[in-house]
A and B are shown apart, each in its own frame.
Chain A
Amino acid sequence: MIVSRRQFIRTGVAGSLLLAFSGWLNAAGERRLSSDERAMLAAIAGALLDGALPPAGDERSRLVALTVDGIARTIAGLSVASQREVGELFGLLVLAPGRMVLAGVGKPWREASVDDVSAFLESWRTSRLALLQGAYAALHDLTFGAWYARPDTWEAIAYPGPPRGYF
């Protein structure tokens, strides 16, 4: 693997510190999402799905809430190790210091705009820290997976769904 020693150490140290910090707060595993986690995921889903979601309003909020429900279901079906990692990530992001320092989002998640959240997602997407890039990928996959798993999202992409009625 061609990774410079310095970069490896930097990523490794940052990674273990982050995880030790959030792991302490979040032993993770089997549990329901807290309301803070739901608010955080709603803000992230709002940014990731912007363009697929209707403009601000009740319908948008309803669809975002359904997506957060879908994310919770997906997490419950992951392996114990993956659930723990997702729990650590969420534990970190719901806390104000994690949100401000790592994500660079100043306002609480409920008040953060799509632009604020998009800027944070963009910075993680191309971060030099593998840990943040991996965390972005997890949020990306959980959100888009939950969105396109629902048949009511298929019409917008002209997907007719699986063949029906033959069986």
Chain B
Amino acid sequence: MQDPIRAGLAAGWKHIDAATLGKGQTVEADVVIVGSGAGGGVTADILSASGLRVILVEEGPLRSSSDFRMLESEAYPELYQDSAARKTMDKAINILQGRCVGGSTTVNWTSSFRTPPEVFAFWQRHYGLRQLSAEAMSSWFAVMEHKLWVRAWETPPNPNNKVLAAGAEKLGIPIGAIKRNVKGCWNLGYCGMGCPTNAKQSMLLTTIPAALNRGATLYTRLRAERLRFSGGRISALDCLALRPDGIHPSGKRLQLRARHFVAAAGAIGSPALLLRSGVPDPHRLLGKRTFLHPVIISSAVMPERVDAYAGAPQTLYSDFFLHQTAIDGPLGFKLETPPLHPVLYATTLQGFGAAHAALMREFTRVNVVLALLRDGFHPESQGGQVRLGRDGLPVLDYPLGEVIWEAARRALLAMAEIQFAAGARAVTPVHETAPLYSSWAQAKKGIAELPLKPLLCRVVSAHVMGGCGMADVPQRGVADHRGRHFWLGNLSIHDGSLFPTSLGANPQLSIYGLVARNASLLAAELSGRPPPLIP
């Protein structure tokens, strides 16, 4: 298997692993981009294509297909924030978020959805974002779909996804097929551990190599510490080099100077960088309204082998329960089917001792369905808040309130009913006091009475959004519809932190489309060229 990253490095890409730096230094460029995920990757590509000198700053390491051995023991510590154990402040939500070159796009499950039209409509009504609509954005989505190989997935769904389809069909619940951004996919099922065959068209394989081919500089294991500004303009970014462990600062400091700065560190990292820097925030909006699509999980034991670790992970979905009420009514949810691997499943599965071991022995017959709760639209769903911990690193406080639990109960009921309709022998909500139910009637009664509280009911997330929300005026948001910060002239925000609500869909394509537009407008401005034809 050819490794395009190693080939590029051998051909002379400018990559500096900050852990190897012998002394501090000051470096200059046209634009400094913090973060190399969906937002940072697309920005680096577009800006470098306009002839701008770009520096990319990534806190995680550079890893590529030769390193991806499909082992959880290697992938989680190497490629994820806090070894895939990042938690909200009260520990009630576990957040899967990438921390490597390519960010979460290196480890996501390839699900690609455009931003739903009703979400744009809500943003127009509540945040005055009249420039952003499904029609206005459609060309940008089309461009990125083409570039990143977002295509219909023609291979039959794996048995894990088929459970969702079979149950939903029995109950008359419509199911859709998920588009995936892959080219020549081997259907292995290990997308979450980095793609070993370079099929996934993540930032690691597309935009970042393109930018490096044009002479962009990539720093890794470099932590963006603080933006220095005066008179409404940023002059420099102070960075801390990390040791080879990727955790502790080495003591070496880098200062990056540029005409323009782009925060693309994700919806926890970007607000945290801005908070640490003390940027103007007169309306106290920074870090607030952070959304997670809190995920509730239902586990079933099927009569036949499911082998949920094998085959493309998420290929079918249902939005039926997103459309039962108004968008700002009781929280709707999207149903999907995640992949299972031993560590991921064993740590998420409730209980211990003999009961846990017994369920683990059924591992190959287990199907899991998950519900992504659409947070941020109901007036009482205000999401969480990014704060700074005592070491200056971010902490996300996301209180799980009644509107979440009410939706969680409906989701657990819907998932159990679907799993039994598909022929499940037993179903258990992933919840510390839930037993294995052996029939839908039993589950219906049991789930109705289940105490739903933080740390009793397992909640996870892989979609962090908001915290630097867009709006028409500074009273309602941190940045405008182009991602331009309202108070600092040469600062843009290019990642999911811009979203004023969650999306009700996996966010990668929404970030690609919005950032492609905003980076193109920025490139025109910085390079003095005509703006793109589709504004």
Contact = CB atoms under 8 A, between A and B. Distances in A.
Interface stretch (B177-185, B324-332, B347-355, B412-420): B347-355
Contacts of B73: 149-150
B90 A130 contact: yes
B342 A153 contact: yes
A1 B347 contact: no
B152 interface: no
B346 A148 contact: yes
A141 B361 CA distance: 18
A159 to B, nearest CB: 6
A162 B188 CA distance: 8
Nearest to B78: A77
Interface string A122-140: 0001100010011001101
A64 to B, nearest CB: 14
Contact of A118 (B85, B248, B353, B358): B353
Interface in A65-85: 74, 76-82
B456 A126 contact: yes
Interface string B477-494: 000000000000000000
A159 B347 CA distance: 16
Contacts of A106: none
Contact of A162 (B70, B354, B395): B70
Given A48-B353, A51-B358, A134 B91 contact: yes
B397 to A, nearest CB: 10
Given A78-B82, A149-B73, A167 B196 contact: yes
Interface residues of B, number: 54
A1 B363 contact: no
B277 interface: no
Contacts of A148: 72, 342-343, 345-347, 360
B455 A134 contact: yes
A150 B356 CA distance: 17
Interface string A38-58: 000000000111111000000
Interface in A14-52: 30, 47-52
B347 A141 contact: yes
B455 A145 contact: no
A125 B364 contact: no
A163 B356 CA distance: 26
A101 interface: no
Nearest to B84: A145
B360 A74 contact: no
A148 B363 CA distance: 12
A102 B400 CA distance: 26
A126 B432 contact: yes
B69 interface: yes
Interface string A73-114: 010111111100000000000000000000000000000000
A149 B343 CA distance: 6
Contacts of A166: 186
Contact of B363 (A48, A134, A140, A157): A157
B391 interface: yes
A133 B345 CA distance: 19
B85 A82 contact: yes
Contacts of A74: 77, 83
Contacts of B364: 157-159
A138 B69 CA distance: 26
Interface in B14-68: none
Contacts of B86: 79
Given A1-B400, A157-B361, A47 B353 contact: yes
A48 B276 CA distance: 40
Contact of A130 (B72, B342, B360, B454): B454
B247 A51 contact: no
B445 to A, nearest CB: 21
B320 interface: no
Nearest to B355: A51
A163 to B, nearest CB: 6
A167 B51 CA distance: 37
B11 to A, nearest CB: 22
B401 interface: yes
Contacts of A150: 73
B118 interface: no
A159 B342 contact: yes
16 contacts: A47-B352, A48-B353, A51-B356, A51-B357, A79-B247, A80-B247, A133-B455, A134-B91, A134-B455, A137-B91, A144-B352, A148-B343, A157-B360, A158-B363, A159-B363, A159-B364
The 5 closest A-B pairs by CB, nearest first: A51-B357, A162-B70, A1-B399, A51-B354, A77-B77
